[in-house]
Amino acid sequence: MSSSSLTPIPNLPESSHPKVVIIGAGFAGLKLARKLKGKPFQVILLDKNNFHQFQPLFYQVATAGLEPSAISFPLRKIFHHSKNVIFRMAEVSSVDTKAKRLFTDIGYVDYDYLVLAMGGDTNYFGSKNIEQFAAPMKTVSEALYIRNKIISNYERAINIEKVENRKHLMNVVIVGGGPTGVELAGAMAELRNTVLPKDYPELSFDNMKVVLIEGGPELLGPMSPEAKSHALKYLQDLGVEVMLNARVKDYDGQIVTLDGDVFLETQTLLWAAGIKPNRIEGLSDAQYSRNGRILVDEFSQIIDCKDIFALGDISLLTEENYPKGHPQVAQVALQQAENLAKNFEHILKGRPMQPFHYKDLGSMATVGKKLAVVDLPFIKFQGLLAWLTWLFVHLMAILGVKNRLFVFFNWSWNYLSFDPSLRLLIKPRYVREAERKELIEQK
Amino acid sequence: MSSSSLTPIPNLPESSHPKVVIIGAGFAGLKLARKLKGKPFQVILLDKNNFHQFQPLFYQVATAGLEPSAISFPLRKIFHHSKNVIFRMAEVSSVDTKAKRLFTDIGYVDYDYLVLAMGGDTNYFGSKNIEQFAAPMKTVSEALYIRNKIISNYERAINIEKVENRKHLMNVVIVGGGPTGVELAGAMAELRNTVLPKDYPELSFDNMKVVLIEGGPELLGPMSPEAKSHALKYLQDLGVEVMLNARVKDYDGQIVTLDGDVFLETQTLLWAAGIKPNRIEGLSDAQYSRNGRILVDEFSQIIDCKDIFALGDISLLTEENYPKGHPQVAQVALQQAENLAKNFEHILKGRPMQPFHYKDLGSMATVGKKLAVVDLPFIKFQGLLAWLTWLFVHLMAILGVKNRLFVFFNWSWNYLSFDPSLRLLIKPRYVREAERKELIEQK
């Protein structure tokens, strides 16, 4: 614990209201903070970043379709007019549940209620090699890194004479057949089919493979059979090689080894296969499930600590229809946050809290810039109309008028022109120099 | 010299046309390459980056007004439909003027004509301390670094209890009273007056100084007296402290020392005070001027090498009205490139080359989002109309329809809302972790 953890976070305004400390400004944390705006609570929102990240569109940042700023929202701006919500950029270290004190790298803070909403990080299922060499996509900067890596690889490939020596730079392998993997694969295949051949006329793109690997027998696990089969067909039409029932055993940065000793040559292994809940020191093992999620009751309260709540990907609540817990998706996080915001008001008024029940509003995934699959509770459909639905739902979900207009404008242009102009390798000089050195040594 | 310099650059298409190699895709290099599109030359354009940078708007990236992508243009996209122009991302090492061979980190290339258009880098006038601690702004990534540095400093200031201990994080000192310095100072003062107090209600911005330091007796050296006095007044109205006849002696990352032992406390010293031409190995000392520019004749040819040309900031041509050479500005670079493009056609047709004469079209600088100063050959004006003129000229200068629309849209919004939403600290995790460590140690 650093010395700064031993002094209180400075400059917090005085308040006579109960203090709600929220860790994490993802879907759950941000929604809760917004719902508590203007209510008689002092809300302290903590996040490692000074912005909210709109995760469903990371794949567009990775494939040069959107700028990071189009899907990242400065938290201070969101709370300009909310005096009772205070944001601090901080990294949390531990909690003392008896003293009701949270320790961070900028000091400690005492809470009346603590809300854990730190989400998850990439899960490599214990493989150190994959962790070292694969590219994850759980933050907007990781998505940006993927974009830079892909473009750098092409700038390198063009300087290699023999076609067979370029393969590892050109191929892209994506692991994980959930919405993220499917969307990444579709967008990568579209880049290959449209923009890249124009950018690199010297290279032959027949040699570039886009491979999507899924451990199970189907893509988009929890969706309807119609959605699954259409998504598979759409991907195959775009030229994606889909490998089902396939498992990655190892990766050395150049060769992916699959079960059954199948080998794929690539420098670009994108890992969208798993999520590992973030942890905080100070809770007991009994408060976690076996897969690391924090066990909560129907009020989102954690075991043995009535003043600590957990929301979103990090939490685990079993309901009748969800014996293994809810899926780790935005909808659950948002609904939990709304329920908790109401329950805070019930607590204040001495009324009983209302239990949380998940209402599945449906799910969707997009394949490329024209097609999608949509499962709603009452209807399932696929194709262009599904894509328009997907577009509408995601635009509406993005907060803030400015950015909504921006994203829409950017996207429309992108779609019409099929030629995003975000293929920029912007990085600090020392990074560029280190990379060029590596490039030269490898030659 | 690395081993890759000893093999030719691979995969260059065969061509029977004369080969023009251009180093640098700044204003001069890009203009020349575009003018030679479709002409009977094979043009090989080399740059360290895969994009052209629109330097006049770097200050807007630094002050969170524009995204890097709004003023950076992927070179491959610009030349999609020009078969005779080939782009390569490369770092040039040296030239063998006798063998007519250029060496780079991706191989060598033999030229018929070589065009040096590598521009300049920041000039610290020999001060190692300033070079180490000050922030330059000669690339879009350096501008982005400034933005990140300023926002990080505020996120740190908010965690410091005593007002006097925050000063070094809040103050911004800018060195150089040319257009870049003036524009940076104006934009910084506007941030302080509008957005920052809303973002950080806990901090008092009366304590934040924006200081502009100029070594000479006036701002905007070569402009008209009217422009100079208006710019000074506009800056002072915005609350910028302008120090004329002031020289920076030293800087340790916290304290700026000026001549006469004046001290300014700041972590943010922005250096817009000088430019140092880039060099290439293989030329003789006699080919350079004393300040490092490459001496050229009226055909942009360098001394003793009729097949090597130099354009833009890197070159030095004296004319009757410009005994010390032309100013290092975009207009000169663009006009030189147009002249050379025509001369290449003259060479091809066996006609004599035409000498270059600079036609001063005027100059301008903006102060904040509503005011500017404009000197045209026939008229001088200042204020809102000047700002609209500045806006129009810069928008027209930016290439590519998409980005022009984008910049316009972004800018208009920005202007109307006075609240850019680009205040995002997006950086790789390891950078963030290193910085947080430093933060904690400093506390």
A11 phi and psi angles, rounded to 5 deg: 65, 25
Domain end call among B251, B273, B295: B273
Give, as one character, the DSSP assignment of residue B70: G
Could you please report the per-residue DSSP string of A351-371? PPPPPP------EEEEETTTE
Listed by number, the residues of chain B in 81-110 with a beta carbon closer than 8 Å to a beta carbon of chain A are 83, 88-89, 91, 105-107
Query: Rounded distance, CA A179 to CA A367, Å?
Result: 9
Contact A11 B49 (CB under 8 A): no
A65 and A152 both lie in a single domain: no
Same domain, B262 and B337: no
Work out how many domains chain B is built from and give that number: 2
Question: Is A409 an 8 Å CB contact of chain B?
Answer: yes
Inter-residue contact B316 to B295 (CB < 8 Å): yes
Contacts of B145 in chain A (CB under 8 A): 428
Beta-sheet pairing, B85-89 with B92-96? unpaired
Q: Do A88 and B159 touch (CB under 8 A)?
A: yes
What confidence score (pLDDT) does residue B440 get?
A: 46
Closest CA relative to residue A12, chosen from A78, A96, A90, A127: A90
Q: For B419, which residue in chain A has the nearest alpha carbon?
A: A77
Measured from the Cβ of residue B439, the count of other Cβ atoms closer than 10 Å reads: 17
Q: Kindly provide the ipTM of the predicted complex, given to two decimals.
A: 0.89
Q: What is the pLDDT of residue B401?
A: 47
| Helical axes B401-417 vs A401-417, angle rounded to 10° | 170
Q: How far apart are the first and last CA of chain A?
A: 45
Instruction: Name the pairing type of β-strands A371-375 and A363-367.
Output: antiparallel
For an interface test with B, give the residue of A89, A149, A164, A438 to mutate (most B CBs within 10 A): A89
Closest chain B residue to A443, measured at CA: B4
In a domain, A96, yes or no: yes
Interchain contact B161–A (C-beta under 8 A): yes
Residue B330 lies in a domain: yes
Hey, are the CB atoms on A155 and B423 less than 8 Å from each other? Answer: no
pLDDT per residue, tens digit, chain B (443 aa), is 455 668 999 999 999 999 999 999 999 999 999 999 999 999 999 999 999 999 998 998 898 887 787 788 889 988 988 999 999 999 999 999 999 999 999 999 999 999 999 999 999 999 999 999 999 999 988 998 898 899 999 999 999 999 999 999 999 999 999 999 999 999 999 999 988 999 999 899 988 999 999 999 999 998 999 999 999 999 999 999 999 999 999 999 999 999 999 999 999 999 999 899 999 999 999 999 999 999 999 999 999 999 999 999 999 999 998 999 999 999 999 999 999 999 999 999 999 999 999 999 999 999 988 899 999 999 999 999 999 999 888 877 775 545 556 666 666 665 555 555 556 565 555 555 555 555 445 44
Q: How far is B198 from chain A (nearest CA, A)?
A: 6
Are B187 and B295 part of one and the same domain? no
Give the CATH number, domain containing residue A250: 3.50.50.100
* Separation of alpha carbons A106 and B86, rounded Å: 52
Tokens of B43: 């043009």
Phi, psi values for residue A6, rounded to 5° = -95, 0
Q: Tell me whether A9 touches chain B (CB under 8 Å).
A: yes
DSSP class of residue B37 equals T
Report whether B365 contacts B183 (CB < 8 A): yes
In a domain, B439, yes or no: no
With an 8 Å Cβ cutoff, are B402 and A421 in contact? yes
Which tokens go with B237?
Answer: 């109205």
Q: CB A73 to CB B421 under 8 A?
A: yes
**Whether B74 and A423 lie within 8 Å, measured CB to CB:** yes
Q: Would you say residue A225 lies in a domain? A: yes
Which residues fall within 8 angstroms of residue B348, CB to CB, at 6 or more apart?
B18, B40, B41
Are both A197 and A318 inside the same structural domain?
no
Chain B residues in contact with A200 by the CB 8 A cut-off are 76
Give the 3-state secondary structure of residue B326: coil
pLDDT value for A183: 96
Between the CA atoms of B35, B47, B409 and B151, what dihedral angle is there, to the nearest 10 degrees?
A: -160
- From B37's Cα to the closest Cα of chain A, the distance in A is 16
CB atoms within 10 A of CB B140: 27
B289: domain range?
3-121+276-348
Query: B120 forms bridges with which residues in the sheet?
Result: B277
- Separation of alpha carbons A213 and A432, rounded Å: 31
- Residue B242 and residue B183 share a domain: yes
Which among A348, A374, A395 is the end of a domain?
A348
Cα angle at A33 between A340 and A344, to 5 degrees? 30
Residue B174 lies in a domain: yes
Average pLDDT (A322-327) is: 93
**CATH number of the domain that B297 lies in?**
3.50.50.60
Percent of chain A surpassing pLDDT 70? 89
Nearest chain B residue to A410, by CA: B406
B242 with B130, same domain: the answer is yes
Listed by number, the residues of chain B in 30-69 with a beta carbon closer than 8 Å to a beta carbon of chain A are: 48-51, 67-69
Provide the shortest C-alpha distance from residue B348 to chain A (in Å): 28
Nearest residue on chain B to A419, alpha-carbon basis = B77
